[in-house]
Amino acid sequence: MSEKKSSGCVVAAVVGIVVLVGGLALVATLIYRGAVFGKEAMSAQFEKHRAEASKAMAEAAAVEPVKLTEGELPDYSSYQAGQPLTREMFLAWRSDTEATTLVQDTFREKAEGADVSWNLRAGDLRQEGDRIIGSFYLPYVTLAKDGIRTQTGVESLRCEFAAGERESLLNIRRDSMATIRGKLSLKNGETVLRDARQAGTGVEKE
């Protein structure tokens, strides 16, 4: 009888040890998983903050005006009809206060219908009949060679989008930057981008 009791105690002790070891193993596993999860969560959070910071820096840089340096402006008189037109060349023409009427008119004639792809600051977008009309802005500064700012300006542009571009324009917010492609028109003293579309959208890629 004593042997049976002793044997039962041994079995109970063994069972208790097994349960204890199993419990410790479970606790250790939970702690490990918690640590791994916590590390992954912290890593994901860090990556999110880094991505947001990078995006904010990129947006801040994009919002900066186009900088033109006196004496180093693009030679817009060399522009030929049919060539793509950069913001810098357009602004060099627009900000040239010493150009004669002949020079101004010659460039205007050559630039009519030019393909452009410009990074612009958004104003408003609205539906007008079968088109969507956008107000956009092209800020710039002119600097002397010593870096001192001599002129600050903003060019206003009217962008005319087809109604089919509606969905691709919903991500544009006021004062955000967007790259707009289109054909330039300088008639009637207005700067207009016709057949406009936002670069990088599904509609634009088709």
In this structure, are 55 and 1 located in the same domain?
A: yes
Per-residue model confidence as pLDDT tens digits over 176-194: 999 999 999 999 889 999 9
The single residue listed with the structure tokens 């419990």 is: 23
Per-residue model confidence as pLDDT tens digits over 63-83: 578 888 888 888 999 999 999
pLDDT of 120 > 90? The answer is yes
Up-side HSE of residue 65: CA atoms within 13 Å toward CB?
17
Per-residue model confidence (pLDDT) at position 47: 67
Check the CA dihedral 160-165-166-169 and report its sign: negative
Q: Which has the higher per-residue pLDDT, 69 or 163?
A: 163
Number of domains in the chain: 2
In this structure, are 70 and 97 located in the same domain?
A: yes
Q: Which has the higher per-residue pLDDT, 41 or 110?
A: 110
Q: Assign 44 a pLDDT band (cuts: 50, 70, 90).
A: low
In this structure, are 82 and 179 located in the same domain?
A: yes
- Contact (Cβ atoms closer than 8 angstroms) between residue 158 and residue 190: yes
The single residue listed with the structure tokens 């967007």 is: 178
Per-residue model confidence (pLDDT) at position 32: 62
- Segment 200-204 mean pLDDT: 54
End-to-end CA distance of the chain: 91
Question: What's the pTM value of the predicted model, to 2 decimals?
Answer: 0.64
In this structure, are 59 and 72 located in the same domain?
A: no
In this structure, are 39 and 92 located in the same domain?
A: no
Lowest mean pLDDT among 44-48, 86-90, 106-110: 44-48
How are beta strands 131-143 and 115-128 bridged, if at all? antiparallel
Measured from the Cβ of residue 55, the count of other Cβ atoms closer than 10 Å reads: 10
User: Which of 63, 80, 108 represents a domain boundary (last residue)?
Assistant: 63
In this structure, are 30 and 125 located in the same domain?
A: no
Q: Assign 11 a pLDDT band (cuts: 50, 70, 90).
A: very low
Amino acid at 76: Y
In this structure, are 101 and 44 located in the same domain?
A: no
In this structure, are 58 and 86 located in the same domain?
A: no
Alpha-carbon distance of 77 to 93, in angstroms, equals 8
Lowest mean pLDDT among 35-49, 107-121, 168-182: 35-49
Q: Which has the higher per-residue pLDDT, 174 or 48?
A: 174
User: Which of 31, 63, 95 represents a domain boundary (last residue)?
Assistant: 63
- Contact (Cβ atoms closer than 8 angstroms) between residue 154 and residue 140: yes
Rg over CA atoms, the chain: 33
Tokens matching residue 99: 């150009």
In this structure, are 58 and 95 located in the same domain?
A: no
CB-based burial, 3-18: b 16+ in 10 Å, e otherwise: eeeeeeeeeeeeeeee
Residue 43 domain boundaries: 1-63
CATH code of the domain containing 89: 2.40.50.140
The single residue listed with the structure tokens 């009809």 is: 81
User: Which of 63, 79, 105 represents a domain boundary (last residue)?
Assistant: 63
pLDDT of 5 > 60? The answer is no
pLDDT of 204 > 60? The answer is no
Per-residue model confidence (pLDDT) at position 20: 60
In this structure, are 29 and 78 located in the same domain?
A: no
Phi (first) and psi of residue 192, to 5 degrees = -130, 140
In this structure, are 134 and 82 located in the same domain?
A: yes
In this structure, are 102 and 185 located in the same domain?
A: yes
